[in-house]
Structure formats: structure tokens, C-alpha cells
A and B are shown apart, each in its own frame.
Chain A
């Protein structure tokens, strides 16, 4: 799918930013090793319009479509997958407030979110409700002009650091229709955080449990109406899946570029590695799978832009295919680096580690199969 001239300009800006501001720090400043969220770089990115790429312009967002967003996140991810993935989650939360929030909520939260002066986290998963998200057990009970939230959320990206949490909690009966969405601020009484998780990748952003013990949330922080929360959460995730798949594309692109360079320079048997047919075929396969992934992700993004009824299924297909293939490409690139690929001095291992989790989060790839199959069987 060819980019328009404008999309190429966004891509080139995002890639420049990734090359200059992120890639050198991902490795040399050890964002991964020190596990510190690079807030300065996030705010610098936001100043260029990356903090609210698909948030409306009236609250400071950039107002672009999902296709452009995908192109941008892919390019940024070549510089650091983990940091870009965090930016993408932040964007998803901001989009939810923009789309489902009322005027007061939009005006109050979005200007500082799009500039990334405040950061946002998405809270759906619970210790006992992962793939079966609609079974979530966190409760929200209305008491006067407040809701009282009780329960805990697991694996929350940005947890403990973010200022704003979009939390799904049960206000009604069992199942998805009993779930509502709330905007909860970090200093809400009764809100606390678990220990920082130790992870294989995605280390430039903290992950913690978010714990609510009689947590008081003003009633005006309810997003939409009671019972709409699960629907909002799923809509957010459609775009979230395209975003995460786009981050995988960036990891695979950067890995392929690194493999091309390494196999050009590295000599064995008096020959550059790239002169061996095995290496050539391996890289040709990587390039073909990367291109196929990119086409699927961009098509899914376009369907989201068109608000197509097929969007959910195509987003799931794209996420399934692209995150699986791109992880494999990163791994193949690591293999082509030989022993060097296993060293932390080379970035390829980090692209592999960082993109591994994309097969798990925003709905596991097993759940993606369920979503696609549900649509297929219904069509039959």
C-alpha cells in the first residue's frame, strides 16, 4: 500500500525523531536496563504532535486518522518499541476520553494529556479476568455524588507513574453490559499500586497492579453512561491492536535493517554473510513477511477510519498475523547476527524481547483467533 505524499512526510518526521531522539538512547542510555520512563522524550514527542495523534484538534490533538497513526507508530518504534508502545497506549486512552467523554471531561483532561504533561493508563485486565475480560470483578457502587471502586487491575502499563487511569469496573449485573468506564486520577483516595513488575521486555515503561480499596471517584468522572464501559474498552482496543501491531512492524523493520547491515559487514569463509544464498533467502522471506504484515495492518487501520463493521475482525487478523510474523522476523534477524545477536550491546535482542509481548497483550493472539472465527461463523 503506497503512502500518500503527506503520509510520507509524517513517516519521515517520525523516523527522524526515532533515529535522533530515541534509537541512540534505547541502547546507549540503557532505557531498557535502567527501566526509567523517558518522560523528557515523551514530552518532546508530544510537542511534535505524537501525544494525541488521533485526538481532535480543538483540545490540542493532531486529528489524524488511524492509517497515519499506524505509519507514525511504526516509524517511531524503530527507535524504541517499548517507549512507542507506551505512547500508543497513552494515545488510546486520550482517544477514549475524546470520543466517549463529555465536553467537561474533554476540556479538563485532554489538553494536558496530548502534551504528555500528564500520562494515561488503560485498566481492563484483572488477576482473575484476562482473556475473559467481561468477567471482571472490580465493582463501582454509586454513593451520593461519588462512585466507590473496589478491586484490582493487573499488568497496567504506566501503573504508578501515570496521572490518569481509564478503569473499567462493574456497576451492574454479570457480563459485558454491567461494566462502566471511569476516569480515575492518581491521587484519588483509596487508589494504590503494586510493586513494579520485572519483565522480559517493555522495560522503558513501568508495569504495576492498580489497586482500589474503597476508592472514591467523583460521579462526574463516569465515561458515557453506566453499562457502556465494555463497549468503549473494546472500541479502544480495536485501535490499540492496530497500534501495537504497528509497533511490531517497526521492530521488524529495524531488525531487518540491522540484519542487512550485519550480514554485509560480517565475513566468514572469506565471504560476506550476505553472499550466502541461505542468508539471502532468509532475508527475502523476512522482507516478504514484513510487507504482508504491513499491508494487513494498514488495511485494518483504513477500515477503522471508514468505521467499517468489518474493522474489529480485520484489526484482530492484522494483530494476529503481524505480531506473530514480526516477532519471528526479529528472531531471524537475531539468528543472522550469530553470537553477537545475543549480546545486549546489539539492539536486535531488544527488538525481539520488546515485541514478544505484542503476541500476548491487547488481547492474546488466541483471542484474536476467537474474534476472527466468531465473525466467520456468523457470516456462514
Chain B
């Protein structure tokens, strides 16, 4: 099969980091904290690699949009099994400049350039939790979309894809002709570790660089962030002496 799969990989603040709002309350402080690939995007990469191992995909290109450090997550994707990588370099002002619509447009142009037949993204990024890029991308490309996938099957020798998605109250199975956009849910697979030899081999795989200008995309933010604040500190509770006291207090506060 000759499917070309494109996977999007976002560099995000590592899941284990306790996020802090910056001093000017414009964004989360990202300066000195550990970053890694968005975990949902890792699942997307794993799915693409599985498709390739099952000989259902011919090649995988990993794409990341953002500052120079994004190349680190692309190297991870290459070490996991992507064949090539594209870095769309965008300045990072630390204020969440690159918004989902801009990324969707960059991915649209990159997908056209790379002649992708299937695009897999994480269902959302763990930093802003927007869950918009995949949907917008499908809209821009006018391709069908299957979001929150927990199972992906390629049918009719690469003409069709069948996706099981988790919805409230059960599973929904949808199918779409290719090309299509899929976003990966948590239970789609368990991403592999890159092995030491594959990390070494990843160095030799092609990584090309583009700019938004190369792709003719205007990445100016369309949404203005007014203020970013930490959630209010939880007020401490108190221990009551008896059930009667509890009921009295609850009644007093109008809860019961």
C-alpha cells in the first residue's frame, strides 16, 4: 500500500511539571521547565508506525510547528519510526502565539506539499487542551474527520478508514474515504519507547525546515488572551463534632 501518513507533534510542557503562571499573567511560564512531545501526539506517532509495520502505510512524515526546540520532539518521532520530519519554524514569544487555527493552516499546507493521504494528530494537546487543530485541519482540507479514535483500521486496500471512537455511553464506529484526518484518543495504543539504536539512526533521517512564509500562511493570533490566573486556592474544611452539627450547618448554608 502506498499511503503517506502525516503525524502532527506538538512540543508541550511535560505532564509531570507543575505549571505556573508567569509574572505578567499573560501565559503559563514555559522558560525553564521540561518539555516533551504531547502524549496524545505520541499515540498518533505510534499508530502511524503500527500502520507502517502492518504494511498499510508506505511512509510517515512527522510535523511540528514552533520554535527551534521543536526539533527535539521531531527527533523523538523519528526515533519511534517516522521516516522524515518537517519543522515549521515559528517565533515563540512565550504568550501562546501559535493558535490552533494557525497550526491547522500550517499543517494543511504541509500536508498538501507532502501529498499526505492520512493525517493523525493527538485529540488535544495537554498544555492548552484546545482540541481544535484536527477538526479545523479537516475543515480547511475539506477532508472527512474521525476524532477521538480508540481503534483505526485501513480498509479496501487503502481507500477507506474505519475508526472506533469513544463517545458518551459507548463506542461509535465510523468510516470515511481517504484522505482523512484522525485524532487519537488515550486508549488507541500504548506508545513504544524509542530504542537507543533507533535514537542513533534518527540522526540520519531527513529533517527539513520551513517557515510560515514558505507555506504562505499568516499565523497572526486571532484570539486575544486577556489574563491568565491560577485557580483559587482551595479553602480548608473543618471537622465537625457530630452528625447533628453537620446537618445544622448544612441547613444554615442552605445546602439541604
Interface residues of A (CB under 8 A from B): 5-6, 8-10, 12-13, 16-17, 47-50, 53, 57, 62, 64, 72
Query: Do B196 and A47 have beta carbons less than 8 Å apart?
Result: no
Residue in chain B with minimal CB distance to A60: B197
Query: Do B195 and A9 have beta carbons less than 8 Å apart?
Result: no
Q: Which residues of B contact A72 (CB under 8 A)?
A: 196
With A12-B36, A13-B193, A17-B193 already in contact, the answer to whether A5 and B199 are too (CB < 8 A) is no
For the complex of A and B, list the 5 residue pairs with the smallest distance between their C-beta atoms, beginning with the closest. A49-B196, A48-B195, A62-B196, A49-B195, A9-B199
14 residue pairs bridging A and B, Cβ less than 8 Å apart: A6-B199, A6-B203, A9-B75, A47-B195, A48-B193, A49-B195, A49-B197, A50-B196, A53-B196, A57-B197, A62-B197, A62-B200, A64-B196, A72-B196
Query: Do B197 and A5 have beta carbons less than 8 Å apart?
Result: no
Q: Smallest distance from the beta carbon of A208 to chain B beta carbons, Å?
A: 31
Measured CA separation A380–B196 after assembly (Å): 43
B108 within 8 A of A: no
Contact with A along B48-73 (1 / 0, CB 8 A): 00000000000000000000000010
Query: Do B72 and A13 have beta carbons less than 8 Å apart?
Result: no
Residues of B181-205 at the interface with A, using a CB-CB cut-off of 8 Å, are: 193-197, 199-200, 203
B79 within 8 A of A: yes
Q: Which residues of A contact B79 (CB under 8 A)?
A: 9
Residue in chain B with minimal CB distance to A49: B196
B145 within 8 A of A: no
B133 within 8 A of A: no
B135 within 8 A of A: no
Contact with A along B74-107 (1 / 0, CB 8 A): 0110010000000000000000000000000000
Measured CA separation A57–B200 after assembly (Å): 12
- Count residues on chain B whose CB falls below 8 Å from chain A CBs: 13
Q: Smallest distance from the beta carbon of A90 to chain B beta carbons, Å?
A: 15
Q: A10 contacts which of B36, B72, B199 (Cβ < 8 Å)? A: B199
Q: Smallest distance from the beta carbon of A310 to chain B beta carbons, Å?
A: 28
Q: Smallest distance from the beta carbon of B254 to chain A beta carbons, Å?
A: 33
Measured CA separation A12–B196 after assembly (Å): 11
Query: Do B196 and A13 have beta carbons less than 8 Å apart?
Result: yes
Q: Smallest distance from the beta carbon of B7 to chain A beta carbons, Å?
A: 19
Q: Which residues of A contact B203 (CB under 8 A)?
A: 6
Q: Which residues of B contact A47 (CB under 8 A)?
A: 195
Q: Smallest distance from the beta carbon of A13 to chain B beta carbons, Å?
A: 6
Q: B194 contacts which of A13, A53, A62, A64 (Cβ < 8 Å)? A: A13
Q: Smallest distance from the beta carbon of B79 to chain A beta carbons, Å?
A: 7
Query: Do B72 and A5 have beta carbons less than 8 Å apart?
Result: yes
Q: Which of A10, A48, A57, A62 has the most CB of B within 10 A?
A: A48
Q: Which of B72, B75, B194, B203 has the most CB of A within 10 A?
A: B194
Q: Which residues of A contact B194 (CB under 8 A)?
A: 9, 13, 48
Measured CA separation A5–B79 after assembly (Å): 13
Query: Do A9 and B76 have beta carbons less than 8 Å apart?
Result: yes
Q: Which residues of A contact B76 (CB under 8 A)?
A: 9
Q: Which of A8, A10, A49 has the most CB of B within 10 A?
A: A49
Q: Which residues of B contact A16 (CB under 8 A)?
A: 193
Residue in chain B with minimal CB distance to A19: B16
Q: Which of B36, B196, B197 has the most CB of A within 10 A?
A: B196
Query: Do A48 and B196 have beta carbons less than 8 Å apart?
Result: yes
Q: Which residues of A contact B193 (CB under 8 A)?
A: 13, 16-17, 48
Residues of B17-51 at the interface with A, using a CB-CB cut-off of 8 Å, are: 36
Q: Which residues of A contact B72 (CB under 8 A)?
A: 5, 8-9
Residue in chain A with minimal CB distance to B193: A48
Q: Which residues of B contact A64 (CB under 8 A)?
A: 196
Q: Smallest distance from the beta carbon of A87 to chain B beta carbons, Å?
A: 13
Residue in chain B with minimal CB distance to A14: B196
Measured CA separation A62–B79 after assembly (Å): 14
